[in-house]
Amino acid sequence: MNINQLKKELGMSNKDIAGFFDMKYFAYANSTAKKRYEIALCRFYAFCKKASAEEEKENKTSTGGN
């Protein structure tokens, strides 16, 4: 997943992302670390999504699939 896919999936803007890092929009947009922030967000989202799917699968198997 790349940042454009993430933003589309979650309905986010660059302003929203800047807010996660307590940054003003232009500070984020012009940051030399912008690419690292975006990669980290994508990795974190993938991690959370995977963990959520695993938890859901575990819950279904422990409750008999209901």
Question: What per-residue confidence (pLDDT) applies to 61?
Answer: 77
* Between 62 and 65, the higher pLDDT residue: 62
pLDDT in tens, 4-60: 999 999 999 999 999 999 999 999 999 999 999 999 999 999 999 999 988 888 887
Question: What per-residue confidence (pLDDT) applies to 25?
Answer: 97
Domain of residue 58, residue span: 3-62
Number of domains in the chain: 1
For 22, 30, 49, the CA distances from 34, given in Å and listed in that order, are: 13, 7, 22
DSSP state of 17: H
pLDDT in tens, 24-33: 999 999 999 9
